[in-house]
Structure 1
Amino acid sequence: MSRNLVKPELLAPAGNMEKGKMALLYGADAIYLGGKLFGLRAFANNFSLEEIAEMAEYAHSLGKKVYVTVNIFAHNEDIDRLPDYLRGLQQAKVDALLISDFGVWSTARQVVPDMPLHVSTQANTTNYAAVQAWEQLGAERVVLARELSLAEISEISEKTSVELETFVHGAMCISYSGRCLLSAYLTGRDGNRGACTQACRWEYNMYKLGEQKRPGEYFDLEEDERGTYVMNSKDLCLIEYLPELMRAGVCSLKIEGRMKSVHYVATVVSVYRKAIDQCWADMEHYSVPEAWITELNKVSHRQYTTGFAVAKPDRNAQVYTSSKYEQTHDFVGIVTGYDAEKKRAYFEQRNNVKAGEPLELLMPDGSTMPFVLTEMLDEAGTSIDCAPHAQQKFSAASDKPLLQFSLLRRKVVKE
Structure 2
Amino acid sequence: MATLTKPKLQGKRHRLAKPELLAPAGSLEKLKFAVHYGADAVYIGGQKYGLRSNADNFSFEEMKEGVEFANRYGAKVFVATNIYAHNEDIEGLEDYLRSLEEAGIAAIIAADPAVIETAQRVAPGLEVHLSTQQSTLNWQAVKFWKDEGLPRVVLARETSLEEIAEIKLHVDIEIEAFVHGAMCSSFSGRCVLSNHFTDRDSNRGGCCQSCRWKYDLFVDEGAPAYAPEDDKFTMGSKDLCMIEHLPGLIEVGVDSFKIEGRMKSLHYVATVVGVYRQAIDAYFADPEGYELKPQWLEEINKAANRPLNTGFFFDTPGAEDHIYEPEDKAAPYDFAGVVMAYDESTGVATIQQRNHFKPGQEVEFVGPNGTFFKQTVGDLTDEAGLALDAARHPLQLIRMRTGQSVKPMDMMRKRTVK
Compute the TM-score of the two structures, normalised by the length of structure 1.
Answer: 0.93
Q: Distance in 2 between matches of 1:265 and 1:229?
A: 29
Secondary structure at the counterpart of residue 386 of structure 1: coil
Q: Distance in 1 between matches of 2:233 and 2:298?
A: 26
Shift, 1:261, TM fit: 0.5
Give 2:368's aligned residue. 364
Shift, 1:15, TM fit: 0.6
From 154, 165, 168, the equivalent of 1:143 is 154
Shift, 1:287, TM fit: 3.0
Q: Distance in 1 between matches of 2:176 and 2:73?
A: 22
- For the structure 1 residues 94 and 376, does the alpha-carbon distance in structure 2 shift closer, same or farther, using more than 3 Å as the test? same
Any idea what the Cα deviations from partners look like across 1:48-80, whole Å, max 9, x if unmatched?
Answer: 011011101110111111111000111111111
1:173 equivalent to 2:187? Answer: no
Give 1:116's aligned residue. 127
Give the letter for the 1:146 counterpart. R
Q: Distance in 1 between matches of 2:417 and 2:33?
A: 27
Any idea what the Cα deviations from partners look like across 1:122-170, whole Å, max 9, x if unmatched?
Answer: 1101110110000001111100001011101110111111100101000
Which deviates further from its counterpart, 45-54 or 219-228? 219-228
Any idea what the Cα deviations from partners look like across 1:24-47, whole Å, max 9, x if unmatched?
Answer: 111111111001111111111110
Any idea what the Cα deviations from partners look like across 1:222-276, whole Å, max 9, x if unmatched?
Answer: 3499965352100000111111111111110011000111100111111111111
Any idea what the Cα deviations from partners look like across 1:285-309, whole Å, max 9, x if unmatched?
Answer: 4332221111111114100011111
Give the letter for the 2:360 counterpart. G
Shift, 1:282, TM fit: 3.2
1:67 equivalent to 2:67? Answer: no
Give 1:391's aligned residue. 395
Give 1:250's aligned residue. 254
What's the Cα RMSD here?
Answer: 1.9
Secondary structure at the counterpart of residue 360 of structure 1: strand
Shift, 1:113, TM fit: 2.2
Shift, 1:19, TM fit: 0.6
Q: Distance in 2 between matches of 1:100 and 1:118?
A: 9
Could you tell me the percent identity over the aligned residues? Answer: 46
Q: Distance in 1 between matches of 2:334 and 2:212?
A: 23
Structure 1 segments unaligned to the other structure (5+ residues): 210-217
* Equivalent residue pairs, number: 406
Q: Distance in 1 between matches of 2:272 and 2:406?
A: 21
Give 2:225's aligned residue. 222
Q: Distance in 2 between matches of 1:334 and 1:275?
A: 24
Q: Is the 8 A contact 2:101 2:125 kept in 1?
A: no
Give runs of aligned pairs for residues 305-320 of structure 1, distance below 5 A: 305-320=309-324
Give 1:214's aligned residue. none
Q: Distance in 2 between matches of 1:343 and 1:29?
A: 32
Q: Distance in 2 between matches of 1:120 and 1:174?
A: 18
Give 1:274's aligned residue. 278
Secondary structure at the counterpart of residue 141 of structure 2: helix
Compute the TM-score of the two structures, normalised by the length of structure 2.
Answer: 0.93
Q: Is the 8 A contact 1:141 1:163 kept in 2?
A: yes
Any idea what the Cα deviations from partners look like across 1:367-401, whole Å, max 9, x if unmatched?
Answer: 21012332321022211121111111111123632
Secondary structure at the counterpart of residue 42 of structure 2: strand
